[in-house]
Amino acid sequence: MRNKLIYFIFLTIAFTSMIQSCQNETSINFKRYYVNGKGLYEKNCQNCHGSDGKGLGTLYPPLTDSSYLNLKRNKLACIIRNGQTGTVRVNNIAYDGIMPGNQTLADIDIAQVIVYITNSFGNKQDFYDSEFAKNDLVKCK
């Protein structure tokens, strides 16, 4: 009986720690992406979009429109890499400037920037790893 109890406790501990380590790996990955994404954002995006993601007047659109980001989730990677022209509506305001592309950013860099943007400035969206970015980037027009 006593042996059984010890065995049971051991098993429970082993099992929960296994689950927890799995969870931790995702959250560690998320944090890694987020932190790296912040650095990349500061270098490549912040000049125009601002440290608070609010953009500038109607020259540069804000990144605070969660529904826009959600709607364009699978297009964000292409927009970051190739830039964008034409009119976009963000928070129901029209912006018609030219966004330059970032050809030097690798797939994983772009994924990290996306994780940072979609989880800052009041946004809260799911994890987006480099595999997602790779798949989305193949479909760029």
Residues in contact with other proteins by the rule CB under 8 A: 47-48, 50, 56-60, 97-98, 100
- Quote the least distance from Cβ 47 to other proteins, whole Å: 5
- Quote the least distance from Cβ 17 to other proteins, whole Å: 46
Vertex 40: Cα angle to 36 and 43 (nearest 5)? 145
Which of 24/47 has CB closer to other proteins? Answer: 47
- Quote the least distance from Cβ 58 to other proteins, whole Å: 4
- Quote the least distance from Cβ 87 to other proteins, whole Å: 13
Which of 6/98 has CB closer to other proteins? Answer: 98
Which of 13/93 has CB closer to other proteins? Answer: 93
* CA 93 to each of CA 46, 60, 87, 90: distance values in angstroms, whole numbers, following the listed order: 20, 11, 10, 5
Which of 39/100 has CB closer to other proteins? Answer: 100
